């Protein structure tokens, strides 16, 4: 630990007695951390429900994050309250009603900064790890009230949606989006995957259930026989019926002979304008068994092939470390420590971070049209004070090429780790988690509390605390591409509708306009396209992602015999025609 950290840190080895209505347990904190005032707060105090509850519409097409399921849904108090604008920085008030595992972290940050925890409408920061109903986002329409979640982000972070978006970008801009492994969405692309698999030799794939969590259900595929039986999964009502299958990176960069990935944290502080930051800290998460190329014998060894912390912490070889800044052999490390291990292995930090920052910019640009669609179709031109911290998992190959594995719209902000081999009821604060996640959350709040015109300059040329700007659409505008054009067309089509979806009748009306392009394409052809994108179902409406796929199929019908490299041009042409025809 360096001198500055030593001066800030306090030696602690205390036991905090924490109580709640449903849980009595001791939390031990053997720390050497800058946690001034942590001993003054009850980190597990009884949750107070808001005085006024607002009944929300139970359906929300934008947030369906499986990680957010809880037995009790607390609601923000939406009653009109007063807030002193001059007081918003000196005494930030944070509503914790919808906090979950991050509650200890939030409370430690509150105490450190002399902020105030509230459960009512006087808050100006509403921190949540739980999915919000559409009306709950409207808190952010008021001055000096900020919600820690963006509409649409949970949907985009679903493995299948992320795969869909990046597959499309990769097909149109292959050189710019080669950071995403070759990906198939099953069962929809099952035959496509089988054909590809049979066309290559000695390639290994990894299959991840779309709604899987913490590494559960992941399998390596050496042969088509390893694939799940999708018909059987449906018949048996399996919890996993959809998978994302990707080419397995067989030549990963190894540190100390082990495979690892990096969990990085991105802050989206604004949609209009679009501003994104990268945090300087993160987590290096190591496998606990030495890496060997996948074989039929070792393919089930999760501790060798999967770097998920939630899996590897159960390994007998898992190494717990509290070291923050120096080289250590822990299975989970801060980036500050990891960079030193990287240099000891003969590499430089910039060898990884320069291409990683390019990846982040490309990815955040790719999801912008879909984030903006959710934003504008809920709030219709109104300004929303909403922000979001996402986790981004990056794997590197031996040539130092970064690959995006997945993103998490609800990254773990827990700061505790079990003690006594996970004995129920006992945990301690992890110095590593505390060090990293305190920076991520505290500095995110300090950024978003500023007016947009000031945010423009924060972290632009120099780091602002632990964040640096990676995207600012006011300085470098987001270029209009086919995705933005389709987003605008879709918004135009659904304008005035209640559910933001396109049903069969509306689809038929839209496609009937295309007679002026090609009279040989019939109603029956368009009906078959609608069936295809809905897996044979005609009563299912289509969303913006399926609409994109539908336009591709329509373009193929309207403009037959088009060369592969001209498909993007023809798609542009179709969208331009529809924009003129749809009023």
Phi, psi torsion values for 276, nearest 5 degrees: -130, 145
Q: What is the pLDDT of residue 377?
A: 80
pLDDT digits (tens, 9 = 90+) for 185-234: 999 899 999 999 999 988 999 999 887 766 678 999 999 988 887 766 66
User: Based on the domain organization, do 509 and 529 belong to the same domain?
Assistant: yes
User: Based on the domain organization, do 452 and 345 belong to the same domain?
Assistant: yes
Asked if pLDDT for residue 8 goes beyond 60, the answer is no
pLDDT digits (tens, 9 = 90+) for 371-396: 999 988 877 777 888 999 999 999 99
Measuring CA to CA, which residue among 413, 412, 419 is closest to residue 25? Answer: 419
Listed in sequence order, the residues at least 6 apart from 332 whose beta carbon sits closer than 8 Å to its beta carbon are: 283, 284, 285, 286, 309, 321, 432
User: With contact defined as beta carbons under 8 Å apart, do 275 and 450 qualify?
Assistant: no
User: Based on the domain organization, do 226 and 271 belong to the same domain?
Assistant: no
User: Based on the domain organization, do 309 and 371 belong to the same domain?
Assistant: yes
| Band of residue 498 on the pLDDT scale cut at 50, 70, 90 | confident
Asked if pLDDT for residue 570 goes beyond 60, the answer is yes
Q: What is the pLDDT of residue 427?
A: 81
Q: What is the mean pLDDT of the chain?
A: 83
CA 549/CA 530 separation, integer angstroms? 10
Asked if pLDDT for residue 96 goes beyond 60, the answer is yes
| Band of residue 544 on the pLDDT scale cut at 50, 70, 90 | very high
Q: At what angle do helices 504-512 and 523-533 cross, to 10 degrees?
A: 140
User: Across residues 329-339, what is the average pLDDT?
Assistant: 97
Q: What is the pLDDT of residue 426?
A: 75
CA 371/CA 454 separation, integer angstroms? 23
User: Across residues 493-522, what is the average pLDDT?
Assistant: 89
Phi, psi torsion values for 156, nearest 5 degrees: -60, -35
User: Across residues 65-81, what is the average pLDDT?
Assistant: 41
Domain ranges, residue 119? 47-149
Last residue of a domain, one of 194, 214, 248: 248
User: Based on the domain organization, do 333 and 439 belong to the same domain?
Assistant: yes
User: Across residues 84-104, what is the average pLDDT?
Assistant: 79
Asked if pLDDT for residue 41 goes beyond 70, the answer is no
| Band of residue 338 on the pLDDT scale cut at 50, 70, 90 | very high
Q: What is the pLDDT of residue 234?
A: 65
pLDDT digits (tens, 9 = 90+) for 141-180: 788 899 999 999 999 999 999 999 999 999 999 999 999 9
Domain membership of residue 477 (yes or no) is: no
User: Across residues 51-63, what is the average pLDDT?
Assistant: 29
Q: What is the pLDDT of residue 249?
A: 97
pLDDT digits (tens, 9 = 90+) for 435-476: 999 999 999 999 999 999 999 999 998 999 999 999 999 999
User: Based on the domain organization, do 127 and 223 belong to the same domain?
Assistant: no
Last residue of a domain, one of 202, 229, 248: 248
Work out how many domains the chain is built from and give that number.
5
Mean pLDDT is lowest, of 5-19, 137-151, 281-295, for: 5-19
Last residue of a domain, one of 203, 221, 248: 248
């Amino acid at each position: 630990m360096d001198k500055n950290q030593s001066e800030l840190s306090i030696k602690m080895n205390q036991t905090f007695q924490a109580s709640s209505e449903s849980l009595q347990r001791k939390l031990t904190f053997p720390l050497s951390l800058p946690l001034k005032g942590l001993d003054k707060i009850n980190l597990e105090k009884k949750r107070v429900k808001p005085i006024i509850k607002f009944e929300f519409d139970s359906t929300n097409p934008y947030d369906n994050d499986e990680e957010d399921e809880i037995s009790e849904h607390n609601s923000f108090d939406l009653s009109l309250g007063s807030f002193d604008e001059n007081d918003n920085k000196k005494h930030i008030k944070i509503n914790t009603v919808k906090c979950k595992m991050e509650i200890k972290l939030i409370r430690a940050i509150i105490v450190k900064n002399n902020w105030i925890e509230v459960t009512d409408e006087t808050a100006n920061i509403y921190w949540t790890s739980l999915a919000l109903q559409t009306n709950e986002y409207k808190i952010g329409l008021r001055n000096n009230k900020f919600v820690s979640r963006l509409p649409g982000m949970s949907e985009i972070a679903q493995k299948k949606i992320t795969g869909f978006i990046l597959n499309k970008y990769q097909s149109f801009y292959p050189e710019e989006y080669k950071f995403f492994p070759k990906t198939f969405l099953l069962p929809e692309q099952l035959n496509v995957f089988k054909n590809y698999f049979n066309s290559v030799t000695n390639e290994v794939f990894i299959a991840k259930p779309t709604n899987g969590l913490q590494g559960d259900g992941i399998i390596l595929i050496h042969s088509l026989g390893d694939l799940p039986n999708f018909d059987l999964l449906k018949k048996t009502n399996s919890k996993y019926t959809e998978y994302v299958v990707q080419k397995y990176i067989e030549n990963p960069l190894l540190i100390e002979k082990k495979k690892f990935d990096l969990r990085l944290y991105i802050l989206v502080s604004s949609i209009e304008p679009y501003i994104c930051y990268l945090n300087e800290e993160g987590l290096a998460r190591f496998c606990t068994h030495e890496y060997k190329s996948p074989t039929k014998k070792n393919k089930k060894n999760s501790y060798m092939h999967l770097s998920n912390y939630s899996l590897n912490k159960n390994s007998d070889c898992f190494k717990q470390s509290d070291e923050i800044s120096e080289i250590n052999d822990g299975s989970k490390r801060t980036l500050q420590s990891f960079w030193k291990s990287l240099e000891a292995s003969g590499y430089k930090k910039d060898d990884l971070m320069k291409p990683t920052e390019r990846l982040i910019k490309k990815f955040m640009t790719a999801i912008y049209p879909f984030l903006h669609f959710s934003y504008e179709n809920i709030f219709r031109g109104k300004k929303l004070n909403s922000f979001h911290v996402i986790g981004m998992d990056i794997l590197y190959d031996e040539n130092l090429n970064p690959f995006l594995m997945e993103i998490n719209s609800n990254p773990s902000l827990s700061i505790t780790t079990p003690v006594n081999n996970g004995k129920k009821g006992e945990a301690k604060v992890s110095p590593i988690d505390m060090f990293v996640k305190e920076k991520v959350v505290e500095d995110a709040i300090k950024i978003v509390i500023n007016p947009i015109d000031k945010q423009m300059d924060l972290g632009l040329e120099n780091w602002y605390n632990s964040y640096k700007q990676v995207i600012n659409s006011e300085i470098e505008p987001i270029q209009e591409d086919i995705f933005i054009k389709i987003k605008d067309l879709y918004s135009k089509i659904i304008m005035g509708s209640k559910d933001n979806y396109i049903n069969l009748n509306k689809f038929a009306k839209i496609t009937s306009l295309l007679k002026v392009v090609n009279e040989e394409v019939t109603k029956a052809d368009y009906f078959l396209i609608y069936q295809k994108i809905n897996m044979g179902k005609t009563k299912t409406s289509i969303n913006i992602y399926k609409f994109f796929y539908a336009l591709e199929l329509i373009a193929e019908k309207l403009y037959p015999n088009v060369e592969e490299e001209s498909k993007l041009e023809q798609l542009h042409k179709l969208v331009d025609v529809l924009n003129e025809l749809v009023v």
